[in-house]
Structure 1
Amino acid sequence: MVAVEGHIKKRNTEKTLKTLLAGGIAGCCAKSAVAPLDRVKILMQGHNKYYRHSGVFKSLNSVYQKEGVVGLYKGNYFQMIRVLPYSAVTFTSYDIYKSYLQNFTHHVHPNLVHLCAGSLAGMTAVILTYPLDVMRARIAFQLKGHHIYHGGMIETVKTISRQEGFMALYRGLFTSLLGMAPYGGLSFWAFERSKLFVLANFPGMFGSPHAENMDGLSLSVPAKLICGAFAGAVAQTVVYPLDVARRKLQLSTMLCEPHKYDGKSIWQILVTVRNDHGVVKGLFRGITVNYWRGVPSSAISFTMFEMMKQLLGLDTGVTR
């Protein structure tokens, strides 16, 4: 009995470590692929004075002309340090929460299981990695010749803590959690549901040749990309205004009128942004670039995670 329990524990630990690795690699691949668009999105969301009236392509070209290729990836160092544990925790905790909810809530609809597990997973990852997101946003918002933060991660932490206090590293956390709850839930729900829909209706076109039955079907790579892209588009559209509010809080001390955002509630920030810039150019400012970076990022992330799980011998069958 002891030997059996030891074997089960070892197997579960191995599975968790493999899932962490798969999630971390998936996140790094996805974020690196869209890093230039991520930089431009931050500049646009914060209404940087040099980019407030620029479109996506003009902003990309302007950043390249002023700062070179390195400028397009400014802040990506912090992004990689953040996204490795963030993605690893997100995907791993999603599997854990989903398994727990399925085992102990037998009468709950599968859709609700995916929504709740995704929400909890997203919030868990945000809490654990939030200071890195703040640092990365501030580094990316800086322009060449106008730097406030110099050096690496430790020096940036010291600068922020010295000037604004240590809790500034958690500015906007509540807003992030408020946005992550629907975002995480919707993205995982949309991915799982689209997987099931595709395999149920187009098994010959998108099903893996290794699959033997409906419960063990795996998606082909193109199908994974499509389902991941759909999941990203659905989730990002719903929560985008909250993402804008989060950026305003994170960048409040670097904006032209910091008093409008620093210390304000989410609702006050959303109202201020709408009054100052309108709905399209305010609350949804940068959503186009968010689709261009977020949709492929989500597609790559989900696809790489599924592929890594297959490579590492983890279960990737469709769950109802």
Structure 2
Amino acid sequence: MSLATSPKNDINFFAKTLLAGGVAGMTSKTAVAPLDRIKILLQAHNTHYKDHGVFSGLRGIVEKERLLGLYRGNGAQMVRIFPYAAVQFLSFEIYKKHLSQMFGVGHSIKFFAGSMAGVTAVMTTYPLDLVRARLAFTVTLSTPDTGIKGAAQATGIERFRIIATMNEVLRHEGGFRALYKGLSPTILAMVPHAGLSFYSFERLKHFALQYFPEFSSNQQKDRLVLNFPAKLICGGISGAIAQPFSYPLDVARRRMQLSMLNPETYKYSKNLITTLMITYREHGIYSGLYRGMSINYIRAVPMVAVSFTAYEVMKQLLGLDTSVDG
């Protein structure tokens, strides 16, 4: 990738990359929004769904909260995910460029660039992630008499819900600092997760174009680019590789984010180590630290596949450099 040297062209590159990343994030998250919600409900042992599995939980959401309940909190997710994904993808391109200039071109650089990009995006948008988790965890039951009303309440105007939730956290849970509850496990999880995701995708993309160009590429002007099926495959595999290393930290993040919603879960609000220890002691490894892992694979593989694919497609549509380096 080459960045133009003139300020005008730099701004053009930044704007296009932000747009490509933001659209990619919104597309991928919307595609798996129902799976995202049931994952949060299972991770934090929501009382309405604590005895459910993945598919029975999805059926339970439809039965208890109507079809729109599957997308509860997705409006807040979109408010968060556009700047998050935009910052992450732009940061990755910038970090990759500067690290390559400092240490030389190589695939290992992409792991560090991906990790740094993930941390940058998290730090920029974390309060919105906390709000989104709160909205997704809340259950509004519908009844035959109030089903339409209940569905409307569950999916109402998300921007007002976001403001109300932030105000509640600020007023009753410790002020501005409370908006960053669960930040430490998020950052720790992001280092291997984002690093491996970006590294794996870039490495697989390079591998496919180098060794299987007849099956994986299309000619675009003077270079080869991955075709659509190859993008999805490379993205899906990279999403699968990154999950096991960071998942317990993701569980801890959700526990800490949702800890103040119920007196029984206040114990998870202290710190990362305490949260991990309590989760392990009370629920063990499979039902505690890795609870919801199956749904995470079901959602993460297509989500990362769609995210990287949408980003690559947007880059091509916007005329950004999509050549493979290193």
TM-score by length of 2: 0.90
- Asked if 1 retains the 8 angstrom alpha-carbon contact of 2:64 and 2:141, the reply is no
Counterpart position of 1:30: 28
CA–CA separation in structure 1 for the residues paired with 2:5 and 2:285: 56
- Residue 111 of structure 1: CA displacement? 2.7
| 2:11 counterpart (10, 13, 17) | 13
Counterpart position of 1:182: 192
| 2:127 counterpart (131, 134, 147) | 131
Matched to 2:242, the amino acid is: A
Q: How many pairs were matched up?
A: 309
User: Following superposition of structure 1 onto structure 2, how do residues 220-299 of structure 1 map, counting pairs within 5 Å?
Assistant: 220-255=227-262, 257-264=264-271, 266-299=272-305
CA–CA separation in structure 1 for the residues paired with 2:49 and 2:165: 24
CA–CA separation in structure 2 for the residues paired with 1:206 and 1:61: 38
| Segment of structure 1 superposing worse, 306-315 or 277-286 | 277-286
Secondary structure at the counterpart of residue 48 of structure 2: coil
User: Following superposition of structure 1 onto structure 2, how do residues 147-186 of structure 1 map, counting pairs within 5 Å?
Assistant: 151-166=160-175, 167-186=177-196
CA–CA separation in structure 2 for the residues paired with 1:187 and 1:286: 20
TM-score by length of 1: 0.92
User: Which consecutive unaligned segments of at least 5 residues does structure 1 have?
Assistant: 1-5
| Segment of structure 1 superposing worse, 243-252 or 154-163 | 154-163
Pair 1:17–1:10, CA change in 2 (3 A): same
- Asked if 2 retains the 8 angstrom alpha-carbon contact of 1:48 and 1:255, the reply is no
Matched to 2:300, the amino acid is: G
| 2:101 counterpart (90, 100, 103) | 103
| Segment of structure 1 superposing worse, 74-83 or 146-155 | 146-155
| 2:91 counterpart (90, 93, 99) | 93
Secondary structure at the counterpart of residue 257 of structure 1: helix
User: Which consecutive unaligned segments of at least 5 residues does structure 2 have?
Assistant: 143-152
Matched to 2:210, the amino acid is: A
Counterpart position of 2:145: none
- Asked if 1 retains the 8 angstrom alpha-carbon contact of 2:217 and 2:227, the reply is yes
- Quote the sequence identity (%): 47
* Runs of 4+ with deviation above 6 angstroms: 146-150
Matched to 1:188, the amino acid is: F
| 2:224 counterpart (217, 225, 230) | 217
C-alpha RMSD of the superposition: 2.0
CA–CA separation in structure 2 for the residues paired with 1:96 and 1:156: 34
CA–CA separation in structure 2 for the residues paired with 1:82 and 1:241: 23
- Residue 114 of structure 1: CA displacement? 0.4
| Segment of structure 1 superposing worse, 219-228 or 111-120 | 111-120
- Asked if 2 retains the 8 angstrom alpha-carbon contact of 1:28 and 1:84, the reply is yes
